[in-house]
Amino acid sequence: MLAHAGALNLTVSTNDSDPLARPASYGYYLHDAAAIWVRPDRARADMAATLAHELAHTVTHDACVGMPRDVCEVVAESVAYAVCSRFGLDLSLRSVDHVAGWLDDPEAFCLGMTAIHDGAAVLTDAIETSMTDSGKLELAA
């Protein structure tokens, strides 16, 4: 995932004194700054899941323009779920809680289905392309 972030010219930071970090946030993506921040005090799997979520925001950004923020968050978490599941990282509990916290109107979820499908395909293909010759996947630094 880090290789794909680099290919997208994104800066990924795990600086524990990030001035924009909120106490309850695991990470964020800033489109205009081409930057992702991931909370460094989480378990490695949580950090990988957060990076997948923030990368999902990058690859679905254009598709989500004009959609409400709650739908964009559901799209990003759904893409992260699909991508991480493909590589053996189970986000079931995390994703259900995250999606439930953002989406009051389940019908709004339908707005993002194409973005979810396309975003998951883009990230999955990019990660598979950057896998090491040994077949091992590096989820996060």
Structural domain span for residue 91:
2-130
pLDDT, mean of residues 65-86: 88
CB atoms within 10 A of CB 46: 18
- Give the tens place of pLDDT for each residue, 30-51: 999 999 999 999 999 999 999 9
Of the chain, the percentage scoring pLDDT greater than 90 comes to 32
- Please check whether residue 135 lies inside any domain of the structure: no
Question: pTM for the whole thing?
Answer: 0.75
pLDDT at 138 over 80: no
pLDDT at 23 over 70: yes
Strand partners, 37: 13, 28
- Please check whether residue 20 lies inside any domain of the structure: yes
Name the more confident of 36 and 105.
Answer: 36
How many domains does the chain fold into?
1
Q: CA 90, 39, 13 angle in degrees (round to 5)?
A: 110
| DSSP-derived 3-state class of residue 39 | coil
Q: Please report the pLDDT score of residue 41 as a whole number.
A: 92
- Please check whether residue 140 lies inside any domain of the structure: no
pLDDT at 68 over 90: no
- Please check whether residue 139 lies inside any domain of the structure: no
